[in-house]
Structure 1
Amino acid sequence: RWRDYLQKQVKPDDAAVGLLLEWSKLPDENFAEGAATVLKKWQALPAGTEPGQFNPIVREKLAEAAPATKADAIKLFADVLSGLYEQLKSKGDVVAARAGLDAAEQQLAGVLLDAGSPTDIPLDQVQQYFNRAERNEVTERQKKIDAHQVNSPGAPPRAMVLQENGAHNPRVFLRGNHARPGKPVPRQFLYVVAGEDREPFPNGSGRLDLARKIADPANPLTSRVIVNRVWMHHFGEPLVDTPSDFGVRCERPDHAELLDYLATKLVDSGWSLKALHREILRSSVYQQQSIDRPDAREIDPENRLLWRMNRRRLEFEITRDSLLAAAGKLDMSLYGRAVELTTAPFTRRRAVYGFVDRQDLPNLFRVFDFASPDQSSPRRPQTTVPQQALFMMNSPFVMEQARSLIARPELARYEATDKRVDALYRLLFGREASAQELEIGRQFIEATSADNNADAKLNAWEQYAQLLMLSNEFVFVD
């Protein structure tokens, strides 16, 4: 920046830095002799700030001897300018303090502060001149600013959106190598759906045209895929076994007519997912129990004909919210920022508002088969591993809900063991306890109360509540 400033903006007769310009043009060889000759010429000029004069402050600084090298010459001028800047800085407001300078000082201050000077650096380029420690400090401060913008209650809500780009045709990468682009390909819809009559998208990037083609009632694929995934959400198993593959190699659905019927209903309702959910939930097949029937199992062991409801474990989000609901602590409020689910103090908000770090997914999510946020996941894996039970047994979150459950007024008002056990069953399972379950509850409370374990984190009733929360009846849908 200083080189460009001297070569493009400073005139040879400039009273302040004209000497430095002339020194910069000298060859490195025998620089000391040439610098002394040039300085002698400048010392003969009258003192002043006009062209053809010599700034008296610079004259005084260079009165002793000429520099031996170009580096020495630069340092001499740097000392003059930095000394003046420190003088201004000591008075607080540098710009305001400049008004009290004399003419010679004003001229040197202009080298530092005027528009176009080497130190007049655009704000977006300032960090280029920081050292490593300064850059690290800026990075840390920016992280704090970003965190404040994300977590501050006063920050406005926002959503990530895409901005429309200009029209351009993509290229096919030869053998999948982006460094070997092939011929341009027109922006158009899938041949397998549109057929021979498809035409290139004429508008902008083509995103709007693509969206219209995807949601076109004449496109049978979109509605079937949506219906298949909604069905899988409710029944645990899809109508088409491969939710992301409706091609010729996938198995045909066992209920093709049902799939087409629901897909048609979805389109006719204006793509209303609420109407689709309502249609499924009101059906007799959804309202079935999962009770086994040996005669039906012998004919259809995989339940492909849906003679009973599939028994399935609750997803992690539903299990967590069910624990909070049983404890009477679930926050049903709508909207707001994402919240941390896995660390104390545990939030009462629903799991749908949970924060998901795509770069560092908590191990708890992975244990409970949480879908990877980095890739398309048509369906979650279903595993049964010891870590799932260990979480329910040892998690501070589960223990906290057990304490809150026992503290609920619906339980606290009962002193008799049988009544409290029965109330627990009603709150957790929506039914009354059987005689056998009442007996088991009495025995557990008596044995645990007599144990007097000083290290126990929960009392007898809280342990019993947690035990019921661990049961299959709580974490499975029958």
Structure 2
Amino acid sequence: WLASITPESLGRDIPTDKLVLHLPLNEGQGNPLHAVGLKEPLTPNGTLTWDKEGQSGPAPVIKSGATLEVGNVGDFERNSAFSYGAWVKTASNDAQAGIFAKMDVQAAYRGWDLWQNGQSFGTHIIDTWPANALKVVTRNRVVKPGKWQHVFVTYDGSGKPAGVKIFVDGREEPIRIEQQSLNADASIRTPTPLRIGQRSAGAVFEGGAVQDVRIYERLLSGNEVSAIAENSSLQKLLAVAAEKRTPQQAAQLFTYYLENHDAAYPKLAATVEKLEAEQAAIRSRSPVTHIQKEKPDSPAMAHVLMRGAYDKPGDQVSAAPPAALHAMPAGAAPNRLGLARWVVDPQNPLTARVTVNRFWQEVFGRGIVPTAEDFGIMGAAPSHPELLDWLAVEFQENGWDVKQLFKLMLMSATYRQAAITTPEKLEKDRDNILLSRGPRFRTDAEMIRDCSLAASGLLSEKMYGPGIKPYQPEGIWDIVGLPEGNTRNYVQDTGENLYRRSVYTFWKRMAPPPNLETFNAPSREVCTVRRERTNTPLQALVTLNDPQFVEAARHLAQEAILKGGSSFENKLQFVAQRLLARNLRPEEQAIAQSSWNDLAAYYTSHIEDAKQLISFGDSKPDAQVEAATLAAWTMLVNELMNLDEVLNK
């Protein structure tokens, strides 16, 4: 292609379909000017002066009294698509002038124009200014006084700002909308002639120069506009011998060939554009995650900061463990992998001991070292140091197998002791430090909620996903929420999200979930290794009245009625197995029977109370179960759910 192309054939790449006017304006002398689309040559108003440094030969300089009147060309309607532009050389960057226009100033500026708007280029499409008009300008300051620039406008006939595109030097520019009141029934036709260098009156493009004016009665594509803009510069490049062209000039010719003559390029370019749009969409909806990369050629280093002042660095130090502790393993590099190997090194006295102590605390309620968060000199001494050492070594030698360690503790004779105490044990081992009996302590807040949901059959096993918003008293977030924040109002979830594990609960720092906070759930502002355990009346109010627990009790009651068997005893043992993992003893059954009789009698005579009770929660009760029966069983199950044996380990 490069060997066969000539300046003349290059000119044939410029679109000519529906070209209604082409004014080269490069004669360089005299007044008669020739144009494609006109029957007769043009005669300017006044005597033209010529700029010898035109884009394609000498160019006429616009002055007051020396403009061009073309005639009735470009008389388009508002709903017609058309395109227009020219090579332009501005005289200043503060002019408000018509580069060319078919616009009647006396008739409320009806018509259209190509406009210099100070440091921007723009266009007007007007029925009546400003009530029924459209004005769009380039958002960026693109005007370069004294330099030739190709300015082109395409309009799709929609009457909307989105239908207008402004190109400068072949590239589409972002636009700024200054007026958009053009109505659907507007008309922009006007008998006033097309003028080069001004509107019908005034707004002269003083001192500017114009060449290669083109008007099309259709919407040009971006590639077509680029072909027009690049043609003259490409012709100059072709005039340069191939061996004398710079790499940039050769690349410009190659790009032009791809965009205008290569058969496969348009499809490939469209694919790339689509993929780039998809990539941009992904980036716009995804958070940016910063990552770090190790410097391959420089070791990590730091300075000792004197008295902690960042601006008073002391000695330079490199990455290494504290000298008071064991050394790095042989062959371990001073990086994160080396640190990981050092942490799990058999010589490390802390990692295994701290870990097994926390697991022991989880199982027995109290660590072998009570201050699980502090193994230093301020922490408490271990109650059984040899046991701690043995468990740590066992944990290490079994490959840090957590399941194996828990199995070992749970199957031990120590754990399987009864939690029943005696006066002698209370006297000698009040806090069970010597492990004279099995562990007994209230379970954590999340466990209490999750166990009630699991026993009732409501607990969702779904994993992962965003935080969920279960039942919560109204208005808790209002006091601490910012008016413009997205956590101003608490919007309760519905369906499965209400019954997911507590670990997925959405946590607002200033207003944590009250039912979990009541049972000493930490605020999550700092890491909490050892939770407090307090006993307050509020805890009983939560398990008795919170919709989460009432709904769980009702659902378990419904399960017992429908699946537990025909007799009261069978239903009761069904509930006991779910909550206690055992059957109730005869004396316990008698108490439960008496309680149920009272509840059934009450709700049978107070049916509205029964209906109100079983309406708690998002899930609906089974219609085939009588309201009074379900309410009585709900209250009985709720009583059993509040037993110490259920809430305590």
Give the TM-score, by structure 1 length: 0.68
Q: CA deviation at 1:265?
A: 0.5
For residues 337-369 of structure 1, the C-alpha deviation after alignment (integer angstroms, 9 at most, x for no partner) is 355152432437752761555766733343332
1:235 aligned to 2:364?
yes
* Residue of 221, 228, 233 corresponding to 1:97: 221
* Residue of 395, 398, 401 corresponding to 1:272: 401
Q: CA deviation at 1:430?
A: 2.3
Higher strand fraction: Structure 1 or Structure 2?
2
Q: CA deviation at 1:304?
A: 0.9
Please give the secondary structure, in 1, of the residue aligned with 2:154.
helix
d(CA) in 2 for partners of 1:287 and 1:318?
21
Q: CA deviation at 1:142?
A: 9.5
Please give the secondary structure, in 1, of the residue aligned with 2:592.
helix
Corresponding position of 1:152:
none
* Residue of 116, 120, 137 corresponding to 1:78: 120
d(CA) in 1 for partners of 2:433 and 2:601?
47
d(CA) in 2 for partners of 1:214 and 1:172?
23
Asked whether the equivalents of residues 154 and 166 of structure 2 are also in contact (C-alpha less than 8 Å), the reply is no
Change (3 A) 1:99 1:429: closer
1:450 aligned to 2:517?
no
Q: CA deviation at 1:173?
A: 3.0
Q: CA deviation at 1:243?
A: 1.2
Corresponding position of 2:493:
344
Asked whether the equivalents of residues 424 and 465 of structure 1 are also in contact (C-alpha less than 8 Å), the reply is yes
Change (3 A) 1:358 1:257: farther
One-letter amino acid of the structure 2 residue matched with residue 75 of structure 1: N
Asked whether the equivalents of residues 596 and 633 of structure 2 are also in contact (C-alpha less than 8 Å), the reply is no
Show the 5 A alignment for 1:143-158. Answer: 145-146=285-286
Change (3 A) 1:329 1:275: same
Asked whether the equivalents of residues 328 and 338 of structure 2 are also in contact (C-alpha less than 8 Å), the reply is no
Corresponding position of 2:524:
373
For residues 42-65 of structure 1, the C-alpha deviation after alignment (integer angstroms, 9 at most, x for no partner) is 963159523x744x7x9489978x
Show the 5 A alignment for 1:80-159. Answer: 80=122, 82=137, 86-87=153-154, 90=163, 97-101=221-225, 145-146=285-286
Asked whether the equivalents of residues 154 and 165 of structure 2 are also in contact (C-alpha less than 8 Å), the reply is no
One-letter amino acid of the structure 1 residue matched with residue 285 of structure 2: I
Asked whether the equivalents of residues 191 and 198 of structure 1 are also in contact (C-alpha less than 8 Å), the reply is no
Asked whether the equivalents of residues 328 and 342 of structure 2 are also in contact (C-alpha less than 8 Å), the reply is no
One-letter amino acid of the structure 1 residue matched with residue 55 of structure 2: T
Paired positions, count: 390
One-letter amino acid of the structure 2 residue matched with residue 79 of structure 1: F
Change (3 A) 1:61 1:105: farther
Please give the secondary structure, in 1, of the residue aligned with 2:121.
helix
Corresponding position of 1:473:
645
Change (3 A) 1:256 1:430: same
Q: CA deviation at 1:220?
A: 1.8
d(CA) in 2 for partners of 1:107 and 1:358?
63
One-letter amino acid of the structure 1 residue matched with residue 304 of structure 2: V
Corresponding position of 1:401:
552
Q: CA deviation at 1:232?
A: 0.3
d(CA) in 1 for partners of 2:591 and 2:385?
46
Q: CA deviation at 1:188?
A: 0.9
Asked whether the equivalents of residues 520 and 531 of structure 2 are also in contact (C-alpha less than 8 Å), the reply is yes
Give the RMSD, CA atoms, in angstroms: 4.3
One-letter amino acid of the structure 2 residue matched with residue 347 of structure 1: N
Please give the secondary structure, in 2, of the residue aligned with 1:184.
strand
1:193 aligned to 2:193?
no
Q: RCO higher in 1 or 2 (8 Å CA, sep ≥ 6)?
A: 2
Q: List alignment gaps of at least 5 residues for structure 2.
A: 1-23, 25-47, 68-88, 97-115, 124-136, 139-150, 156-161, 173-219, 235-250, 253-280, 471-491, 615-630
Show the 5 A alignment for 1:199-210. Answer: 203=333, 206-210=335-339
One-letter amino acid of the structure 2 residue matched with residue 426 of structure 1: Q
Change (3 A) 1:280 1:298: same
Change (3 A) 1:402 1:142: farther
Asked whether the equivalents of residues 315 and 368 of structure 1 are also in contact (C-alpha less than 8 Å), the reply is yes
Larger displacement relative to structure 2 (465-474 or 97-106) = 97-106
Q: CA deviation at 1:245?
A: 1.8
Please give the secondary structure, in 2, of the residue aligned with 1:310.
coil
Asked whether the equivalents of residues 324 and 348 of structure 1 are also in contact (C-alpha less than 8 Å), the reply is no
Please give the secondary structure, in 1, of the residue aligned with 2:325.
helix
1:215 aligned to 2:347?
no
Change (3 A) 1:315 1:281: same
d(CA) in 2 for partners of 1:91 and 1:249?
74
1:437 aligned to 2:592?
yes
d(CA) in 2 for partners of 1:189 and 1:339?
38
Please give the secondary structure, in 2, of the residue aligned with 1:191.
coil
Asked whether the equivalents of residues 329 and 342 of structure 2 are also in contact (C-alpha less than 8 Å), the reply is no
d(CA) in 1 for partners of 2:573 and 2:227?
95
Please give the secondary structure, in 2, of the residue aligned with 1:403.
helix
d(CA) in 2 for partners of 1:352 and 1:401?
14
Asked whether the equivalents of residues 580 and 645 of structure 2 are also in contact (C-alpha less than 8 Å), the reply is yes
Show the 5 A alignment for 1:349-428. Answer: 351=501, 354=504, 357=507, 362-364=512-514, 365-408=516-559, 411-412=562-563, 414=565, 416-428=567-579
Change (3 A) 1:329 1:62: farther
For residues 218-258 of structure 1, the C-alpha deviation after alignment (integer angstroms, 9 at most, x for no partner) is 11211110111000010111111211222233332111111
* Residue of 300, 303, 310 corresponding to 1:178: 310
Change (3 A) 1:75 1:198: same
Q: CA deviation at 1:99?
A: 4.7
Asked whether the equivalents of residues 507 and 513 of structure 2 are also in contact (C-alpha less than 8 Å), the reply is no
d(CA) in 2 for partners of 1:144 and 1:262?
51
